[in-house]
Amino acid sequence: MVKKRVDGREMNELRPIKIVPSVIERADGSAYLEWGQNKMIVAVYGPKEMLPKHLADSQRGKINFIYRMAPFSVPERKNPKPGRRDIEISKVVGEALSHAVLLEEFPGMVIDVYVQILDSNAGTRVAALTASSVALADAGIPMKDLVTAVAVGKANGNIIADLNKYEEDAEDAVDMAFAMLPGSEEIVLLQADGILSEDEFDKAIKIAKEKCQEVKKLQIEALKSKFKALKE
Amino acid sequence: MVKKRVDGREMNELRPIKIVPSVIERADGSAYLEWGQNKMIVAVYGPKEMLPKHLADSQRGKINFIYRMAPFSVPERKNPKPGRRDIEISKVVGEALSHAVLLEEFPGMVIDVYVQILDSNAGTRVAALTASSVALADAGIPMKDLVTAVAVGKANGNIIADLNKYEEDAEDAVDMAFAMLPGSEEIVLLQADGILSEDEFDKAIKIAKEKCQEVKKLQIEALKSKFKALKE
Amino acid sequence: MVKKRVDGREMNELRPIKIVPSVIERADGSAYLEWGQNKMIVAVYGPKEMLPKHLADSQRGKINFIYRMAPFSVPERKNPKPGRRDIEISKVVGEALSHAVLLEEFPGMVIDVYVQILDSNAGTRVAALTASSVALADAGIPMKDLVTAVAVGKANGNIIADLNKYEEDAEDAVDMAFAMLPGSEEIVLLQADGILSEDEFDKAIKIAKEKCQEVKKLQIEALKSKFKALKE
Amino acid sequence: MIDYSYDIEMVKGRIEKGIRTNNRKDDEYREIKIETGILKNAAGSAKVTLGKTMIYAGTKLEIGTPYPDTPEEGGITVGVELSPIGAPEFYAGPPSETSIELSRVVDRGIREAKTIDFKKLLLVPKEKAWFVYVDIYVMNHDGNLFDACQIAAMAALKTTKIPKIDEDFNQIKGEYAGNLKLEKLPVLNTYSKISNKIILDPDLNEDYATEARLSIAIDDNLNICALQKGEKGFFTQEELKEIIKTSKKKYKEMRKIFEKL
Amino acid sequence: MIDYSYDIEMVKGRIEKGIRTNNRKDDEYREIKIETGILKNAAGSAKVTLGKTMIYAGTKLEIGTPYPDTPEEGGITVGVELSPIGAPEFYAGPPSETSIELSRVVDRGIREAKTIDFKKLLLVPKEKAWFVYVDIYVMNHDGNLFDACQIAAMAALKTTKIPKIDEDFNQIKGEYAGNLKLEKLPVLNTYSKISNKIILDPDLNEDYATEARLSIAIDDNLNICALQKGEKGFFTQEELKEIIKTSKKKYKEMRKIFEKL
Amino acid sequence: MIDYSYDIEMVKGRIEKGIRTNNRKDDEYREIKIETGILKNAAGSAKVTLGKTMIYAGTKLEIGTPYPDTPEEGGITVGVELSPIGAPEFYAGPPSETSIELSRVVDRGIREAKTIDFKKLLLVPKEKAWFVYVDIYVMNHDGNLFDACQIAAMAALKTTKIPKIDEDFNQIKGEYAGNLKLEKLPVLNTYSKISNKIILDPDLNEDYATEARLSIAIDDNLNICALQKGEKGFFTQEELKEIIKTSKKKYKEMRKIFEKL
């Protein structure tokens, strides 16, 4: 008998993902993303002049990445003010995104990337990163590649892809946020909590890389369908 | 038997009003106002350069109106920090005041109008607006007219002028803040809470307009007595 | 039988004091100070350009003095945010320090002096002031004299020097923070809480002045040992 | 991006000639689309588009202590977030005064109409009652945020489920005791005065050209339950009368939308 | 507006020659006027003018939990607000360090003199006691805010009524159980040192020219109960002695003002 | 002051040639010095120097209410303060995002290794448990704050005494019921990638030249218990493998330091 996960998925099966670019009229680029129960909107504004000017870098542009969760997006109502978790995620996900963008083309400028989580069930940061690179492409920002992200980890003794909240609460749960540039396999995001042996880590990375290629196809399809729609 | 109100007033009778301009030596203009139990001081500083400069409007000046209640000015001690109510009142009363001031004469500048409520018993925002236009006149700011304000509304089935706190707590209470330029009858403030029929609304507006003319006389008298005092 | 204090000290005996200059590599000047149980580090950065510029004084420099207590430095854990006490101490101690520094030599500039209290047991502000003037000297900031500070006061009917926490909690306790320039005996800090007669005050000041001369020697020794170390 | 290149004077000129985008009439709303029940962690949720203005609203219920002056009542809190996603002029940070006014006008329209019977939210007198939090996100700003936010709030509230609780008053995850009952269905209508014309539901260009704004909440009995004038212009008494008449006329049309939810 | 056009050097020159505005003596206060009981929502209230410096103070009493280290005591909190009404250099926003120093010096003078017996504020040991909030607004700043604020605080406290409470410890609106008792009547005197002269009660021009400032609180037994030196200058021991002597002399004069309230 | 005059390109050039200051090897830590028990008001305390990076850490224990989802557990809170004492680029004010990331990485390394058994901190189920606060001050920043702060946190925790309490759950001053027990001794290792080389424990110059950073926490069983990649560069899978191997090798060396405390 083949073991399955609580929601019927295979060990390395992703939850259903839906990506729709160009959903916010006033933004320079945007994307709506569903990933299992997770729902979010990303908007990109810029490149534009960095203000106040003393924060600008005369050599290259900057990504200002802001991740926020709505009060109703989690089981217990969240305070509307950004918490320490929001700020940490904004920092590391923004850094991961920065690697892909050709920032040297925007000296002294900033690109604002805002993510609003509307509903959540584990894995919002990798979903946000995946959606953000679609929104950047939608905005026409030059990038060396998309950034593609997945969570991998461990629950109940199995190394699995794309944990849900129930699995994240397992006694032995490990949640690992992973992102790479799918062309070069350059790893730009890696955050993990929980106990993993070296072998388990290797296995998790292997799955993560495979799954990123799968997610990348969805990103490309979403962008293609937009440009197709534009042509028609 | 003629019905009267709990404090003995007629249905459309205002509480006693006292206005004294020029009470704050260091301000460019000021006024002290008592309206029933309400007591407040308004000070005007400006016109002066708007800082930071990027907030300035090169075509016209701005009114920066700030309304604050002292912790001891209400039955339950108020937190000294401004609340959401203070901020909303500051915005709408400031907009009402702006209509009367010849802002095109002060491009790029700002006029600060500060109101401090010291004691309160319903109707502070209309009292603040009434006092503010006296303080602006006291500061010599050119205006097309004074702004004159009253509260009207409903309590215990009657359409009445100038509700007190007791009346505001009636089951069917409606409190409507109203302000106009008494010369042109241009309505610049209108805020209402509570249930009013169309007919009741018309009646309330009619009373409000009459009462504004009454209040206007008190504003003019206060200003005259000041200039008279100056001449002597 | 000679009366002694709870910790065995004479009435006008200071607790052991240890001063070590130049403890923070990245600072322009610094000092570590132990005074009884009190432990703290002071760092000096500057003189440097005052920003934002509109806060600068074109005639003379400014001291920006910041006093902070670590959450673990007091018996009950302190909130890490600065409280009203921290802010008041920063103001008055900074003013006391300003008198000694030749601020006219730094027009438009600022010298930052940061004090972090790591452990405490009464008298941290005078200890901070004493340490700060060593750190300023360590930074090579020109001063007309050191500033030297002690606490004096009253406990259980005695006028005493350098109260500890236990003595500060006496029914009749008076705590008086005192600082002077030891050369000219110019008094630059004086803060007292609690009831003192005029005679007691005179006696306390007399002790304070004597004790300052004692503390000054320790400041000088600390600075000398540093310059000696440098020469070797 | 929506093209906002034409200037305020051009908008005024068009309004004077009675021309609105897509030949809209002065008292006509843009197309309204509502989806509800879209967010699982929210007790109630809605996505509303009013023309190109896009709003998300979600509700949460929490148990709290009744206020001392209403010991047998729960309560409601409405917050509007002008998300930086929704417009280049919005920024991340504490609520602006625009956001606070918007929150309070939407809140008052719902509260004053007695949309929710706060007594029905009571669990234990003086001790425990339900408090309803409505959080509204402006995700694309193309004008008339007041009405769009009110519709989103009403849609989220009307589809709000009350959590089941255990004997310790802890919410049981994913189980519900029933729906929040809305006693009334108030409608908010917002008007702009531009060049002495009054138009309903201003779009973003019309918002920019607005001299005075009036928001009016109408209840099930066609009474006025809240009013808010904004901006630096003025209204005459005649204009107010006209607005009230229009709003009473619009009420049935809008109510149908709420009834269908 | 008060004319502050003449510069610090001119003030210094005048002080050196012993000239003060209105021929005031070095140890003389400007005219003090006090009105009390002027604000109905406040438990106690006062308007104080010291020359042209104008202060409003109001008190409120609230029931709170005693601190663990004083389980049988209530407490007091003093806050001074430098209202933007009172001077062009004041601004709306969180308290400045000037405002915090002012609050704390006024608070300590009153607290250290044991003006209020905190044990008498107890209602239920460890559980409930009265806490007194004194909020002080500077409405016109013409110098010496320390003494003006202290007088206003004392006047508001001395006329404070303690609310009547029901068995649930809720305040009964508009009813009072008696007056707050002041056990002591401390007086605060503030001095400026300008060009080596010491003057009492500096006005605004003198404030600007001040090299060093000393505030001293004297209690009923002519003891010192609080001291605070401020500004970047210094005092000599002899100057401190002179100040203490003057303050003891002034005590009776000022106490009379408090007694009359 | 430490001389940081040579530029990033020079650091890169040196790293490429395999040259580090003081001939340090790529996987070698700078000298580590630890003093503990240095602060009396702290429940536990440590001063740590890692080369010229200097950290103070102190702990406090307070009784609080367990979270509803862990009714039988206490907890831990780690905060890192980038004190303006420690570097000219640090400033007084609310925590920066750098400080927040640092706090959370140190916290997770300790938490995920199950260093403290939170169940042992329970006093009364659902009602009372010990909460451990670790406050860490960066007093001189010469690079690799992650590892220096983790060492300081571990040293302060390992020497933390649990206060004695009376029957009312009040702490008895200066008396202790025993030591906080550390169940595990996790080690945090931080690596910089510079010009395609991976080096352990970057000093400040190396910090500036870092393209990508990786912090990895290893537990007693040589498992990975936390990972954090930072900065705008990337790692390859091979580089990660290399880092994990080095970290497992370093674990015993570092553990000895913790064991000696």
For chain F, the chains sharing at least 3 beta-carbon pairs closer than 8 angstroms are A, C
Model confidence at D130, pLDDT cuts 50, 70, 90, reads: very high
pLDDT tens-digit map of F157-199:
999 999 999 998 989 988 899 999 999 999 999 999 999 999 9
Question: Does residue F231 lie within any of the structural domains?
Answer: yes
Which of B25, B71, B112 is opposite residue E60, by nearest beta carbon? B71
CB contact (8 A) between residue E88 and residue B45:
yes
CB contact (8 A) between residue E232 and residue C95:
yes
Model confidence at F4, pLDDT cuts 50, 70, 90, reads: low
Place of tokens 């201003």: D202
Contact: chain C with chain D (3+ CB pairs below 8 Å):
no
Q: Is the pLDDT of residue F3 over 60?
A: no
Question: Does residue E203 lie within any of the structural domains?
Answer: yes
| Three-state SS sequence of E170-186 | CEEEEEEEEECCCCCCC
Name residue D77's amino acid. Answer: T
Q: Is the pLDDT of residue C232 over 90?
A: no
In Å, how far from its chain's centre is CA D31? 16
CB contact (8 A) between residue F101 and residue A191:
no
Which of B90, B195, B201 is opposite residue D112, by nearest beta carbon? B195
- Residues paired with residue A176 on neighbouring β-strands, in sequence order: A152, A192
A197 neighbourhood in chain F, CB within 8 Å: 223-224
- The single-letter DSSP state of residue B143 is B
Q: Is C39 on the interface with F (CB under 8 A)?
A: yes
Which of F48, F59, F57, F56 is closest to F161 using CA atoms?
F59
Residue D157 near residue D133 (C-beta atoms within 8 A): no
E236 neighbourhood in chain C, CB within 8 Å: 185-187
Distance, in Å, from the CA atom of A90 to the CA atom of A68, rounded to the nearest integer, reads 8
Tokens encoding E107: 């608070």
**Which CATH number is B82's domain given?**
3.30.230.70
Instruction: Tell me how close the Cα of F24 comes to any Cα of chain A, in angstroms.
Output: 27
Name which of A40-44, C38-42, F92-96 the model is least confident about.
F92-96
Buried b (16+ CB within 10 A) or exposed e, A96-119: bbbbbbebeebeebbbbbbbbbbb
Q: Tell me what the pLDDT averaged over chain D comes to.
A: 95
- Residues paired with residue B39 on neighbouring β-strands, in sequence order: B34, B119
**Which CATH number is E105's domain given?**
3.30.230.70
- Is the bond preceding C47 in cis, omega lying within 30 degrees of 0? yes
**Cβ-Cβ contacts under 8 Å for D64 (sequence gap 6 or more):** D74, D75, D128, D129, D130, D131
Residue A161 near residue A211 (C-beta atoms within 8 A): yes
Q: Which of C76, C77, C84 to mutate to test the interface with E (most CBs of E within 10 A)?
A: C84
pLDDT tens-digit map of E3-21:
555 688 889 999 999 999 9
Q: Looking at residue B121, what is its pLDDT?
A: 98
Stretch 133-192 of chain C: residues touching chain F, C-beta under 8 Å: none
Strand segments, DSSP code E, in chain C are 17-21, 29-35, 38-49, 62-69, 109-119, 148-155, 158-161, 174-181, 186-196
Q: Looking at residue B52, what is its pLDDT?
A: 83
Q: Which of D41, D53, D140 to mutate to test the interface with A (most CBs of A within 10 A)?
A: D41
DSSP secondary structure letters along chain E = -----S-HHHHHHHHHTT--GGG--TT-PPPEEEEES--SSSSEEEEEEETTEEEEEEEEEEEEPPPTT-TT--EEEEEEE--TTS-TT--SSSPPHHHHHHHHHHHHHHHHTT-S-GGGGEEETTTEEEEEEEEEEEEE--S-HHHHHHHHHHHHHHTPEEEEE-TT-PEEEEEEEEEPPPS---EEEEEEEETTEEEES--HHHHHH-SEEEEEEE-TTS-EEEEEEESS--B-HHHHHHHHHHHHHHHHHHHHHHHH-
Q: Looking at residue A227, what is its pLDDT?
A: 81
Q: Looking at residue F168, what is its pLDDT?
A: 87
Q: Is the pLDDT of residue E197 over 80?
A: yes
Name residue E261's amino acid. Answer: L
Distance, in Å, from the CA atom of C77 to the CA atom of A166, rounded to the nearest integer, reads 36
Q: Is the pLDDT of residue D3 over 70?
A: no
Average of per-residue pLDDT across B14-19: 98
Which of B84, B195, B197 is opposite residue D100, by nearest beta carbon? B84
A209 neighbourhood in chain F, CB within 8 Å: 237
Q: Is F232 on the interface with A (CB under 8 A)?
A: yes
Instruction: Tell me how close the Cα of B174 comes to any Cα of chain D, in angstroms.
Output: 9
What are the helix (H) ranges across A62-195? 84-100, 124-138, 165-168
CB contact (8 A) between residue D227 and residue B192:
yes
Q: Looking at residue A18, what is its pLDDT?
A: 98
Stretch 64-93 of chain B: residues touching chain E, C-beta under 8 Å: 66, 68, 70-75, 77, 80
Distance, in Å, from the CA atom of A129 to the CA atom of B110, rounded to the nearest integer, reads 44
Q: Is E247 on the interface with C (CB under 8 A)?
A: no
Q: Looking at residue D5, what is its pLDDT?
A: 52
Q: Which of B55, B59, B66, B92 to mutate to test the interface with D (most CBs of D within 10 A)?
A: B92
Q: Which of F232, F235, F245 to mutate to test the interface with A (most CBs of A within 10 A)?
A: F232
Strand segments, DSSP code E, in D37-108 are 44-50, 53-64, 75-81
Range of the domain at F166: 19-259
Residue E101 near residue C91 (C-beta atoms within 8 A): yes
Q: Is the pLDDT of residue D203 over 60?
A: yes
Instruction: Tell me how close the Cα of B168 comes to any Cα of chain D, in angstroms.
Output: 13
Alpha-carbon separation of residue F252 from E88, F185, F187, F222, F257 (angstroms): 66, 10, 9, 9, 9
Which of F148, F166, F145, F164 is closest to F156 using CA atoms?
F148
Instruction: Tell me how close the Cα of F200 comes to any Cα of chain A, in angstroms.
Output: 18
Task: State the pairing for strand pair D197-200/D187-194.
Answer: antiparallel
Return phi, psi of residue C56, to 5°: -70, 150
Model confidence at B144, pLDDT cuts 50, 70, 90, reads: very high
Total domains present in chain F: 1
Q: Is the pLDDT of residue D213 over 60?
A: yes
Distance, in Å, from the CA atom of B23 to the CA atom of B32, rounded to the nearest integer, reads 6
Distance, in Å, from the CA atom of E5 to the CA atom of E7, rounded to the nearest integer, reads 6
Q: Looking at residue D6, what is its pLDDT?
A: 59
Alpha-carbon separation of residue F81 from B6, C80, E175, F22, F61 (angstroms): 60, 9, 50, 29, 19
Name the CA dihedral angle for D84, D85, D88, D90, rounded to a multiple of 10 degrees: -30
Q: Tell me what the pLDDT averaged over chain F comes to.
A: 95
For chain A, the chains sharing at least 3 beta-carbon pairs closer than 8 angstroms are D, F
Question: Does residue E6 lie within any of the structural domains?
Answer: no
Q: Is the pLDDT of residue D101 over 60?
A: yes
Distance, in Å, from the CA atom of A152 to the CA atom of F227, rounded to the nearest integer, reads 13
Question: Does residue F6 lie within any of the structural domains?
Answer: no
Range of the domain at A141: 17-231
Average of per-residue pLDDT across E198-215: 97
B90 neighbourhood in chain D, CB within 8 Å: 97
CB contact (8 A) between residue B95 and residue D227:
no
Q: Is the dihedral of CA A219, A222, A223, A225 positive or negative?
A: positive
Buried b (16+ CB within 10 A) or exposed e, B59-83: ebbbbbbbbbbbbbbbeebbeeebe
pLDDT tens-digit map of A79-138:
999 999 999 999 999 999 999 999 999 999 999 999 999 999 999 999 999 999 999 999
Q: Is F235 on the interface with C (CB under 8 A)?
A: no
Distance, in Å, from the CA atom of D107 to the CA atom of D150, rounded to the nearest integer, reads 8
Alpha-carbon separation of residue E79 from B71, B78, E83, F34 (angstroms): 10, 13, 12, 45
Distance, in Å, from the CA atom of B122 to the CA atom of A78, rounded to the nearest integer, reads 35
Which of B191, B198, B201 is opposite residue D229, by nearest beta carbon? B191
CB contact (8 A) between residue A91 and residue F97:
yes
Average of per-residue pLDDT across B199-224: 98
Gap between the terminal Cα atoms of chain B: 49
Total domains present in chain B: 1
C199 neighbourhood in chain E, CB within 8 Å: none
Question: Does residue B9 lie within any of the structural domains?
Answer: no
Instruction: Tell me how close the Cα of F224 comes to any Cα of chain A, in angstroms.
Output: 5
Q: Looking at residue C115, what is its pLDDT?
A: 98
pLDDT tens-digit map of C118-155:
999 999 999 999 999 999 999 999 999 999 999 999 99
pLDDT tens-digit map of F206-257:
999 999 999 999 999 999 999 999 999 999 999 999 999 999 999 999 999 9
Which of E100, E219, E240 is opposite residue C205, by nearest beta carbon? E240
Q: Looking at residue B159, what is its pLDDT?
A: 98
Distance, in Å, from the CA atom of B5 to the CA atom of B206, rounded to the nearest integer, reads 19
Instruction: Report if pTM > 0.90.
Output: yes
Stretch 100-139 of chain F: residues touching chain C, C-beta under 8 Å: 133, 135, 137, 139
Question: Does residue B1 lie within any of the structural domains?
Answer: no
Question: Does residue C42 lie within any of the structural domains?
Answer: yes
Give the Cα-Cα-Cα angle A65, A68, A69 (nearest 5 degrees).
155
Q: Is B27 on the interface with E (CB under 8 A)?
A: yes
Name which of B205-209, C62-66, F16-20 the model is least confident about.
F16-20
Distance, in Å, from the CA atom of C28 to the CA atom of E40, rounded to the nearest integer, reads 57
Q: Which of A65, A87, A209 to mutate to test the interface with F (most CBs of F within 10 A)?
A: A87
Q: Looking at residue A54, what is its pLDDT?
A: 85
3-class secondary structure, A98: helix
Contact: chain A with chain D (3+ CB pairs below 8 Å):
yes
CB contact (8 A) between residue C72 and residue F79:
no
Q: Which of F30, F41, F157, F176 to mutate to test the interface with C (most CBs of C within 10 A)?
A: F41
- The single-letter DSSP state of residue A143 is B
Which of F95, F225, F232 is opposite residue A195, by nearest beta carbon? F225
CB contact (8 A) between residue C187 and residue E225:
no
Question: Does residue B2 lie within any of the structural domains?
Answer: no
CB contact (8 A) between residue B71 and residue E58:
yes
Name the CA dihedral angle for D133, D137, D143, D149, rounded to a multiple of 10 degrees: -20
Q: Is E91 on the interface with C (CB under 8 A)?
A: no
In Å, how far from its chain's centre is CA C188? 11
Q: Is F87 on the interface with C (CB under 8 A)?
A: yes
Alpha-carbon separation of residue D191 from A41, B94, D232, D235, D258 (angstroms): 30, 20, 14, 11, 20
pLDDT tens-digit map of D72-100:
999 999 999 999 999 999 999 999 999 99
CB contact (8 A) between residue C84 and residue E104:
yes
CB contact (8 A) between residue B26 and residue E141:
yes
Average of per-residue pLDDT across F104-131: 97
Q: Looking at residue F173, what is its pLDDT?
A: 84
Average of per-residue pLDDT across A170-189: 97
Average of per-residue pLDDT across D230-244: 98
Q: Tell me what the pLDDT averaged over chain A comes to.
A: 96
Buried b (16+ CB within 10 A) or exposed e, F87-122: bbebebeebeeebbbbbbbbbbbbbbbbbbebeebb
Question: Helix E97-112 vs helix C84-100: angle between axes, to the nearest 10 degrees?
Answer: 110
What are the helix (H) ranges across F79-218? 97-112, 145-158, 204-209
Instruction: Tell me how close the Cα of B114 comes to any Cα of chain E, in angstroms.
Output: 6
Instruction: Tell me how close the Cα of A69 comes to any Cα of chain D, in angstroms.
Output: 11
- Is the bond preceding B47 in cis, omega lying within 30 degrees of 0? yes
